[in-house]
Amino acid sequence: MHAETAAFRAAGRQRSYRGTTMVTTLSPCWYCSGLVRQFGISRVVIGEAVTFSGGHEWLAEHGVEIVLLDDPECVELMRDFIKDQPELWNEDIGE
């Protein structure tokens, strides 16, 4: 399960998710982007979109506020993870 999905489930049922901010390390994948769009989450804060581009541009085109930090430390952490765990990374991104 991706972290965005886990966070959404942990938040529990809400009358509305409008006004909600989701914070994520990477740009959400297409599945998680669909979740954001379907439930009307208003804003997504993204640590970096260098190692995985995801669906943040599509979300922005559909009215979701995107805060893209492109934090160098986050990029470095993800590059190290990808180098150290390539099989897990490829499984996670569907390759």
CA distance 85 to 13: 34
Specify whether the backbone of 4 is left (phi greater than 0), alpha (psi in -120 to 50) or beta: alpha
Q: Which of 4, 48, 65, 95 is catalytic?
A: 4
Catalytic residue list contains 4: yes
Query: What angle is formed at CA 39 by the lines to CA 27 and CA 6, rounded to 5 degrees?
Result: 55
Catalytic residues: 4
